[in-house]
Amino acid sequence: MYSQMLAQLEKEYPSMVAWRRHFHEHPELSFQEVETPKKIASFLRELGLEDVKEGVGGRGVVAKIHGGLPGKTIALRADFDALPIQDAKDVAYKSKVPGVSHACGHDAHTATLLHTAKVLYENRADLQGTIVLIHQFAEEQTPGGAKPMIDDGCLEDVDVVYGTHLWSTFPAGEIFTKSGPLMAASDRFHIQVTGKGGHGALPHETRDPIVCGSAIVQSLQQIVSRNVDPLQSAVLSFGAFESGGPFNVIPDSASILGTVRTFSKDVQTMVKERLSEIADHTGKAYGTACTLTYEDGYPALLNHEKETNHVQQAARVLFGVDACQEMTPMMGGEDFAYYLLDKPGAFFFTGAGHPDAFPHHHPHFDIEEKAMLQASKMFIKLIEVSNEEAAADG
């Protein structure tokens, strides 16, 4: 029965591409998605699904397909928000919204799950268990859409949850994942340095926030190299150092923005404490006042072992032994982590690279669209594999 579904997906591919390109032309930013969830809900209802809920957790859409055979309740998730990036590609489906584009592939995630749903629903008599379709808003911007959707019940009665990300710099036709830590916790911080400004020719009459801020930046670089266990992973990076005005005026204040990426909760806590200590003591040493604002972002994404094995098994059966790659953990963040804190499951990357591929969040970003078909086949195969394992366990 599942082989029939996989074959049917091939016929759905042209429509899958058309829908992906529609969403690509009409992107919507995180927490501003209005038309996209409407389109998703309308597509699902036109298929015949009756159990479709809109406004889940804010702007999310959740639908259920009830199979005709007993089995697990399996959730499949796709995100649908875009980024504040101008689309610089010269393609027919270029974004029609100035300054906004699907520069991360969420348009493809959405089209993939919609057509997976179509095939599953049309074969529901032979489908095992219940499939929960989670169309999530606002993955790109914290606090994200996953947690409010979970709080609103999207994982209620779910046994296992799976998600994928089409990745433009991984070879097309290959699946990448690993058990345990896969993506890092992604936090942000802001250090406000308040000093005393004055004329650049009279620095002794000032408390220079730029000099103090520069010392803070240099000192904070030593947290990872001197405070973090070399066998652990952590990243501390700065994204902005803003201050000043005229070339000959020492300003009153400076602002430093950065990010912290960790896998271990203990390492995360230690880095946060050292940030505060270094900023405070450096500020006092330079006669300035330093205020740290630290915002916890998405938690680390930790794949469950059994479900990761299911992903690897499905990939090998579908695409061959060499097509399933054990990947190195990424320091990027992903709010799918919240689903895995609540339910067993796994997240994996579907290679979507092509010869002229650009990285994610780049103005020229695009994907190999065939990757959508491969991701959709993975979802259907995971339903089969998960239910086979449940039957084997009795």
Please list the active-site residues.
81, 139
b/e per residue 19-46 (b: at least 16 CB within 10 A): bbbebbbbbbbbeebeebbebbbebbee
Q: Residues 335, 147: contact at Cβ < 8 Å?
A: yes
Largest CA distance in the chain: 82
Strands (E), the chain: 52-56, 60-66, 69-79, 128-136, 160-167, 175-177, 180-183, 185-194, 198-199, 234-243, 249-250, 253-262, 289-298, 301-303, 324-326, 345-351
d(CA 296, CA 162): 24
- Name residue 253's beta-bridge partners: 194
Phi and psi, residue 270, nearest 5°: -65, -45
Q: Where are the beta strands (DSSP E) in 115-159?
A: 128-136
The residue whose two tokens read 């946060």 is 272
Please calculate the CA angle 325-329-332 and round it to the nearest 5 degrees.
Answer: 125
- Token digits for 93? 């489906």
Q: Which two tokens stand for residue 151?
A: 């709080």
With a CB cutoff of 8 Å and minimum separation 6, the contacts of 370 are 13, 172, 173
Structure tokens at 158: 């779910």
Cα–Cα separations (whole angstroms), residue 136 to 96, 148, 160, 185: 22, 10, 17, 19
